[in-house]
Structure 1
Amino acid sequence: MPSSPHIDVLLDIKTTLGEGPVWDAESQRLHWIDSADGRIFRSTYDGRELRAWDMREPIGSMAIGHDGSTFIAALQSGLYRIDVSTGDRELIINPEPDLHSNRLNDGKVDRQGRFLFGSMDTLEESASGSLYSYSPNGQLQVLDKDIVVSNGPCFSPDGETLYFADTWTGEIWAYDYDTVSGKASNRRTFAKVDTSGGGAADGATVDSEGYLWQALVYGGKIIRYAPDGTVDRIIKTPVLKVTSLAFGGPNMDILFVTSMAKPPLPRFPEDGQQRGALFAITGLDVLGLPEPRFGA
């Protein structure tokens, strides 16, 4: 039996829509975002040396560039390269210049250094979103489309299975992922999400044993799925609106969990006093996998 986890508030900074934690093993720093307020945060594993970058518009996800001097950020107006030292930004590409009701959302770097990111309808109603891949050589690919809310891209330990969710379908999907071409195929249902309590699939990560961890936003839970899609473990969280998660820390044994202080639409529930906090969960007896840098 696994030991009982311990959940601590690492930083109570009340992110309006905390999302996208990324632990960078090379710099030993945690990064995460406030999607609604358009900020990137960075700190040590224990919450010290907090720094923030203002993107001046909503941000869906980010990754660290190969040499650590830049971020790749999926902003509302497109994919940007951000200078870490100055905060200056340079537009790389806008994949949806005519879809004004969309914005870019969750993303993750594959084992070959490509940045996968999705888009979403801001009202979370229309299937106008897509899943994209941007490679270090400048190639943009469309991996899937007709998506309402892109969330939770992550990879199996060998990088040959891509997991992804369109939040309101109630499913997590798996794809065969060609590590050479970066193409995704053979989409199938990996797991059915228990939405009976009002929760929905949000951010996700895969641990060193190949199990998928997923934040059940609005449901106040973290679900661990076995490689066959069955539920292995459920952890109740102090707030309902947990949004995403990532393993990190010096030993890769801390699960960092983001949350939101304010729901994006009136139909979504409010929450308790710790809403918007960044949490650290220890005592899981599980190790995570280092996330690659973009272009690495």
Structure 2
Amino acid sequence: MTTEPTIRVLDAPRCHLGEGPSYDPGTETAWWVDILDRRLFELSLAAGAGPARVYTLPFMASCIAAIDPEHQLLAGEDGLYVRTLFDGRLTRHCALEADDPGTRTNDGRVHPSGALWIGTMGCGAERGRGAIYHVAGTRVTRLFAHLTIPNAIAFAPDGRVGYFVDSRENLLMRVALDAATGLPVAEPDIHYRHADGGGSIDGAVVDREGVIWTARFGAACLDAYSPAGDRVRTVPVPPHQPTCPTFVGRDLDHLLVTSAYEGMDDAARRADPEHGRTVLVGIGTRGLLEPAFRLAA
């Protein structure tokens, strides 16, 4: 029997464009960013914890990943940066489209091998300016080009399948991978063709059964897709424009979901009281702990 979802709006400021959530189970801490307003959020999910802490960043960041207990990885406009948790110090790890000021990073996730898949896109979402890269240590390999808004980067639990989407096209793609490296070993094919219900597929995460959970931007919901390519569940969420989920909690049985009010006028914001909020959704299924990024290939 499907468990009725629970919803809690978290004690954190609204995000212009929330993205890239990450979770540290050792400290029960969630992290996420607001890309356009250049902010990083830290929120303890422990009982009785206070509101989120907010840090100002010197660049637009889109994705956060753990490295070790003292460091995390941020995907910035022109490359990947190592952030020291103790003092917030940022050190560039490697460049990524640093010679093109018209692009920025977008969705990303770490493969079980410790390599990062990270998408880029035009700052104005110009058609075909996006790409997806594989980063192993400091070695950067472009995997897919001529995308517009790369999203939904996620991996099967055994690392043998990768998923991604160009949100403009709304085709959830799958591709066979080398589990040891996270590099493709075949051409992508269509896993699910989204054509009903409105909205566009945005960020994604995979649970321990291999089900792909995606945020549907513009439709106020999460969708779940089976490894066979069927949509098996849709869960409503309060924000109209959810952006990215990740599993959090001691049992990894909740999804923390970021959202955005990008592109909404005053009337649209009034019609969406929780616009830009970050929410916690209990869905009755358990996820996996996200792998840490390996600094050395």
TM-score by length of 2: 0.91
Alpha-carbon deviation of 1:168? 0.6
Structure 1: distance between partners of 2:275 and 2:180: 41
1:51-66 alignment runs, 5 A limit: 51-65=53-67
Alpha-carbon deviation of 1:129? 1.4
Residue in structure 2 matched with residue 251 of structure 1 by the alignment: 251
Alpha-carbon deviation of 1:273? 1.6
Please, which runs of 5 or more residues in structure 1 have no aligned partner?
none
Structure 1: distance between partners of 2:182 and 2:7: 37
Alpha-carbon deviation of 1:46? 4.6
| CA-to-aligned-CA distance 1:267-288 (integer Å, 9 cap, x gap) | xx64512111111112x22001
Residue in structure 2 matched with residue 128 of structure 1 by the alignment: 129
Residue in structure 2 matched with residue 76 of structure 1 by the alignment: 77
Q: Compared with structure 1, are the counterparts of its residues 41 and 12 closer, same or farther at alpha carbon in structure 2 (3 Å cutoff)?
A: closer
Structure 2: distance between partners of 1:175 and 1:11: 38
| CA-to-aligned-CA distance 1:103-141 (integer Å, 9 cap, x gap) | 1111111111112111011222321111111113x2111
Residue in structure 2 matched with residue 30 of structure 1 by the alignment: 30
Q: What is the aligned-residue identity percentage?
A: 27
For the aligned residue pairs, the C-alpha RMSD in angstroms reads: 2.0
Alpha-carbon deviation of 1:259? 1.0
Equivalent pair of 1:10/1:46 in contact (CA under 8 Å): no
Structure 2: distance between partners of 1:149 and 1:143: 15
Alpha-carbon deviation of 1:31? 1.3
User: Partner letter of residue 194 of structure 2?
Assistant: V
User: Partner letter of residue 279 of structure 1?
Assistant: V
Q: Compared with structure 1, are the counterparts of its residues 104 and 264 closer, same or farther at alpha carbon in structure 2 (3 Å cutoff)?
A: farther
Alpha-carbon deviation of 1:196? 4.6
Q: Compared with structure 1, are the counterparts of its residues 40 and 157 closer, same or farther at alpha carbon in structure 2 (3 Å cutoff)?
A: same
Equivalent pair of 2:104/2:122 in contact (CA under 8 Å): yes
TM-score by length of 1: 0.92
Structure 2: distance between partners of 1:82 and 1:107: 17
Q: Compared with structure 1, are the counterparts of its residues 239 and 194 closer, same or farther at alpha carbon in structure 2 (3 Å cutoff)?
A: farther
Equivalent pair of 1:170/1:195 in contact (CA under 8 Å): no
Alignment of 1:178 onto 2:178:
yes
Alignment of 1:289 onto 2:288:
yes
Alpha-carbon deviation of 1:248? 1.2
Matched position secondary structure for 1:59: coil
Alpha-carbon deviation of 1:265? 7.9
Residue in structure 1 matched with residue 139 of structure 2 by the alignment: 139
Equivalent pair of 1:25/1:291 in contact (CA under 8 Å): no
Equivalent pair of 1:54/1:87 in contact (CA under 8 Å): no
Q: Compared with structure 1, are the counterparts of its residues 26 and 171 closer, same or farther at alpha carbon in structure 2 (3 Å cutoff)?
A: same
User: Partner letter of residue 219 of structure 1?
Assistant: A
| CA-to-aligned-CA distance 1:61-97 (integer Å, 9 cap, x gap) | 11111x2212211111222111211212112222213
1:112-123 alignment runs, 5 A limit: 112-123=113-124
Matched position secondary structure for 1:169: coil
User: Partner letter of residue 221 of structure 2?
Assistant: K
Please, which runs of 5 or more residues in structure 2 have no aligned partner?
none
Residue in structure 2 matched with residue 102 of structure 1 by the alignment: 103
Structure 1: distance between partners of 2:25 and 2:113: 16
